[in-house]
Structure 1
Amino acid sequence: MNDYMIGYGSLLSDYSRRTYSGIETVARPVLASGWRRGWTVRYGDEAATYAGVRPSAGPSLHAALVPTAITPELRHRERGYVFTEVDPARVHPDGEDRSALPVGRYWIVVNREQVRADDAHPIPQTYVDTCLTGCLETGGEARARDFVTATELWDAPWINDRDSPSPLYPRRAPANADERATIDRILADCGVLRYRRPG
């Protein structure tokens, strides 16, 4: 049976999937019920906080369904999480293609613990850019806005490391000037950009 990841962070980005995990398959936008995204994950070897999920009966999680084998490389990439099987009935097509989703095993990565960002482990803008360029690829500005509004804890420490010689996020997808401007406009329109601090 084929395996599919429900990607809700950096796996939203085609560049990130291909470059850092060798995943060449095409992702499809989906909504997964029962989960809420927030800035709540960190790795012991990285001074940053990333997106995680917690069980929630609230709004559905905007994500991408990624066909991929569960490889050792993917498990290392997602080492701060537990691979958790999801009932495919709780995952639904989103975007223009409303055809049935493929049959297989669906997986989501769930935090080992819920840890809010702090000054020693801020949210990196390079990670936010990676997530939001992925949203722009799969569903345009509307999907990027959905990501922002449905994600918790933007008011935690958050650093603009875009132009840093040593960005906090080592697996970033490059965002050009136009993409950066679009992302910042969306963050401002959604009322969260005020929390970001200079790098």
Structure 2
Amino acid sequence: MLLLLLFAGLSSIAQAQTYWGKPLPNQPDNFIFGYGSLINSASRNATASKPIAAIPVRVSTAFGYIRSWNDRSPSGFTALGLRRPLPGEQAMTINGVLYPVEGNDMAAFDAREKGYVRVEVPRHDIEAISWQRLPERGRIWVYIPDMAGQEPGTGLPSADARYPLLESYVDVVVEGGLEFGEAYARELIETTQGWSAFWLNDRLRARRPWVADKDYQAVDTLLAEHVPTFAKRMFSEDYAAKNLLPIEERNGLR
């Protein structure tokens, strides 16, 4: 019995002295908090030099931001970002993931997040929300949209006809959330602002989504339950007819 207790004690010590399987002296010095597409393992690993595990975490309201659809990609859609509260608003909690960054991966993620600036998250503003603990040391970074001449997270646009929400991007985010369970994905949706009626259903096979995406039904169910503007989502041809052709007519392009 004594030997079993001793073994259990040594195991607890060993577990406490390691993080993600690495001895404490060799832990990474930098970690990234991902709150959008970086939650999704496949999306995150497409940028990393090798697959990296992430743990679910939550940033507190003390950090002072709101997750919102507010970053316009030059390719013509609106992505997720963090913004400062507007007058009369309160900051919100933001669930996401935390993962280590080693070697040249920081430069790779910086390049991926072009148009965002990397901001440090105070350790006291973030908590782990699973059995895994936060790293005992290291700096934690997050990417925030950066408009020229503005404080990061301010002066940001919302989705419009030219820069809609894309279902293919929404799928990446929500399916990333579902990796940690339905409740986590629901929290992600409910703590995101800026859901827009400008919503383009651009799935690979939008009218037969099950062909390319086995999780489409779980995503659609959550969105239908928690996002009123989901009912406004349109297929490509319908979206163009309603939102883009009138713009061209007004601009004399037709």
Per the alignment, residue 138 of structure 2 pairs with: 104
TM-score normalised to structure 2 length: 0.68
RMSD across aligned C-alpha pairs, in angstroms? 2.1
- Bigger relative contact order, structure 1 or 2 (CA pairs below 8 A, ≥6 apart): 1
- 1:121 and 1:191 mapped to 2: Cα distance? 19
* TM-score between the two structures when normalised by the length of structure 1: 0.86
Output the CA distance in 1 between the equivalents of 2:174 and 2:223: 10
Q: How does 1:6-85 map to 2 (within 5 A)?
A: 6-33=33-60, 34=63, 35-44=65-74, 46-56=75-85, 57-69=90-102, 71-85=106-120
* Residue ranges of structure 2 left out of the alignment (5+ in a row): 1-27, 148-155, 237-254
Name whichever structure is richer in helix by fraction: 2
Q: Matched residues in 2 for 1:51 and 1:149: separation?
A: 14
**C-alpha distance in 2, partners of 1:187/1:109?**
25
Shift of 1:99: 3.0
| Match 1:136 to one of 175, 178, 182 | 178
Same amino acid, percent of matched pairs: 29
**Larger-Rg structure:** 2
Give the equivalent residue in structure 2 for 1:185.
Answer: 221
1:176 Cα deviation (Å)?
Answer: 2.1
How many Å apart are 1:112 and its aligned residue? Answer: 1.0
User: In 2, Cα distance between the equivalents of 1:86 and 1:147?
Assistant: 19
8 Å Cα contact 2:165-2:196 kept in structure 1: no
Distance in 1, Cα, partners of 2:46 & 2:132: 28
> In 1, distance between residues paired with 2:134 and 2:190?
27
Matched residue, 1:120: 162
How many residue pairs align between the two structures?
187
Q: Secondary structure at the match of 1:126?
A: helix
Unaligned runs of 5+ in 1: 166-173
